[in-house]
A and B are shown apart, each in its own frame.
Chain A
């Protein structure tokens, strides 16, 4: 069965600093990988996704993620964080077909001035 681990429950960064959120997955074949963001009281919005091809994926709001098969990781990065990036971030893995997508437990990002 597929699984996702987000080892950091909370992360605090200063505005303007760089950000990396960690995500490790477990799946036997090439997975479909996603990052979603959830602002307080809202639903989830897709930031970016990886299905195949270039392992460095660009998303919305200046985010990017890199698929590293050897490390079973799909870490999310942003070079300079803005106060509006404060939210909860979810990594997810899917396997194609009608299989479900499995979500991680989320990382809550706090941005301090």
Chain B
């Protein structure tokens, strides 16, 4: 089974702090994604990466950055956390080739509260 793990299930940070959310997948997937999930808004794509050291902006990249130094690990960084970044953050990965590329496998999520 594909396994996507996220470093924390719950996180509480203060406004202005730098926050790191880590995601690791164990299936040698090429693509990795970060979403945030808010009630009534569904999932919104923040950033994705289709290869090591490659990254692409999603729909809502402002206030976030990412890092992919190794294939299995994709980090989301909140440079200076703000209260409007309180949300559930979901990481996903998918393989690179063929129709299976579009099937994303999700981690359990990190619920972040910024005070």
Task: Enumerate chain A interface residues (CB-CB to B < 8 A).
Answer: 9, 32, 34, 36, 41-46, 49, 51-52, 90, 94, 96-98, 100-101, 103-106
Contacts and interface: CB of A to CB of B under 8 A. Distances in A.
Nearest to B59: A100
Contacts of B35: 103
B45 to A, nearest CB: 5
Contacts of A52: 99
Nearest to A44: B106
Contacts of A96: 99, 101-102
Contacts of B103: 34, 46, 49
Interface string B89-115: 010100000010111111111010000
A90 B102 contact: no
B92 to A, nearest CB: 8
A103 B104 CA distance: 12
Interface residues of B, number: 26
A-B CB proximity, top 5 nearest? A43-B106, A105-B42, A103-B43, A94-B102, A44-B106
Contacts of A49: 102-103
A66 to B, nearest CB: 19
Interface in B26-70: 31, 33, 35, 40-43, 45, 48, 50, 56, 58
A32 B98 CA distance: 12
A81 B113 CA distance: 34
Contacts of B102: 32, 34, 49, 51, 94, 96, 101
Contacts of A100: 33, 45, 48, 58
A98 B50 contact: yes
B56 to A, nearest CB: 8
B3 to A, nearest CB: 11
B50 to A, nearest CB: 5
Contacts of B50: 98
Given A43-B90, A44-B90, A51-B102, A106 B42 contact: yes
A94 B90 CA distance: 18
